[in-house]
Structure 1
Amino acid sequence: MNKNINHIFLFTLLFLGIFVSSQEKKKFSNIDGVLAKIVPDTKVDSWVLLHNKYGKNREVKVMGKKPDYLPQFTGFNFRPGEESFYYIASSKGGKTTYITDIRELKDFMGKIDNVEEAAIAAVLDGYLIDEQFVDVAANYYEDKTNYYLDLGKVTSKECPYQKTHYTLTVSKATGAISNVKDNGTYIEVYTKNCKNNPRLLKLEKKEEPKDDPKKQPVKTRR
């Protein structure tokens, strides 16, 4: 009897350990690392992922024999506000094709093969892998059926500039987003030009003048 109880106890501890470890959040290293995990559905002989920043090209990843390619002047941007973009040069049968558009990237990537591709698909839908705020908007955990992505989104470019973070539930089987949880705003930036800047409103707010008792009209008795 005691042996059975001990076995049940050990099994429970093992199960809880597996469950806890599966719920542990992991951080996306950076956008380069995420894009480098692309597994193309399109059959190609080789491909290279490039990052262009301020006109300078950098090879992020080369798969197979590096194809001959020409620098491109447009691409897909994963860092809003930064003058940079990514593009892919792929080769098949000696012909080089360039992937510079979000739709082309989606077709190149095809079916969701891993959590990085799930994050890329979410970015293509308007979300953000926020490298500056990894703890709230660039991490994930997973179980047998789903990926759970914590990502950001620019929700206002007006005054104030805002970013909100969400938890997306993505099916491993279909790649579809089945649930989106709004976790609230994590960045709210007011500039000097913002008329609704709380600090400016506080400075502009004047105290109402108090009545001076010396200036009160004197009441006379009749």
Structure 2
Amino acid sequence: MLSAKNTENGVLLKKIIPNKNVKYWQVEHFPNYKTEDLDFEILFSKGNTENISIPKNEFNLNGFFSGCHPSLCAYRITYLEKDQWKIIQSEKELKTFIDKIDNVYEAYLIGKINEYDIDQNSEKGNGFVKQKDGYKLKMMKYNNCPESKESFTLSINNNGNIENTKSNGFYFKTTDCIIY
């Protein structure tokens, strides 16, 4: 099983290959701070911007993969399809946008949508094998009280569905509680 390098949300989102008639798309991150000049940051954009006007989205707290305690940050995707602007603000919408699984990054995003995470520091929670009909991933679930990490093997098919899930047991466990 191979380990995936740099599997942060922003990196994974940049690797999406939209399977729709998308002329332009951008990954946006709204950080846990807001200034007069910064509502959100555009982390990545792709497509033809000739003769199009990109709308300025309103600052709101609707997005996916939110976090950044004690405040809030999240991601969203704005895209142009068939001359209509659309915004992805939920994990369900993100799964629809990904559609067919084109690469391991999209497979990992499906795992994250289903509340699994990637452990950048351990192969017990980070690994993949390309299969004929999708990917077999090693991911983990983190609990903060008591703090623990449980390893899982997921089989994700080319349609983005999890076909099989197997717990590999806990590989990190303490009696501590991490309170945000």
Please tell me the TM-score bracket, short chain as reference.
0.7 to 0.9
With over 3 angstroms needed to count, the CA separation of the structure-2 counterparts of 1:103 and 1:178, relative to structure 1, is: closer
Q: Does 1:69 align with 2:56?
A: yes
Between Structure 1 and Structure 2, which shows a larger proportion of strand residues?
A: 2
How much has 1:94 moved relative to structure 2? 4.8
Matching residue of 2:15: 37
User: Equivalent residue of 2:65, what SS?
Assistant: coil
Rate the CA distance shift 1:134–1:28 in 2: closer, same or farther, 3 A: farther
1:123 is paired with a residue whose SS is: helix
Q: Secondary structure at the match of 1:51?
A: strand
How far apart, CA to CA, are the structure 1 residues paired with 2:89 and 2:83?
A: 19
Q: What residue is the counterpart of 2:41 in the other structure? A: 58
Aligned CA-pair RMSD: 2.8
- 8 Å Cα contact 1:27-1:135 kept in structure 2: no
CA contact (8 A) 1:27 1:134 kept: no
Does the 8 A contact of 2:155 with 2:162 survive in 1? yes
Q: State which structure, 1 or 2, has the greater radius of gyration over its C-alpha atoms.
A: 1
- Do residues 126 (structure 1) and 102 (structure 2) align? no
Shift of 1:128: 1.0
Pairs aligned (count)? 167
Q: In the alignment, residue 28 of structure 2 is paired with which amino acid?
A: L
Q: In structure 2, what residue type is equivalent to 1:103?
A: K
> 2:3: which partner in 1?
26
C-alpha displacement of 1:150: 1.2
Do 2:101 and 2:134's aligned partners in 1 also have CA atoms closer than 8 Å? no
1:105-124 alignment, distance < 5 Å: 105-124=94-113
Distance 1:125 1:65 in 2: 32
CA distance in 2, matches of 1:121, 1:193: 26
In structure 1, the partner of 2:75 is: 86
SS of aligned partner of 2:78 = strand
CA contact (8 A) 1:171 1:178 kept: yes
Q: What corresponds to 2:157 in structure 1?
A: 171
Task: Kindly provide the amino acid, as one letter, of the partner of residue 130 in structure 2.
Answer: E
Structure 1: stretches of 5+ with no match in the other structure: 1-23, 195-222
Larger relative contact order (Cα-Cα within 8 Å, sequence gap ≥ 6): 2
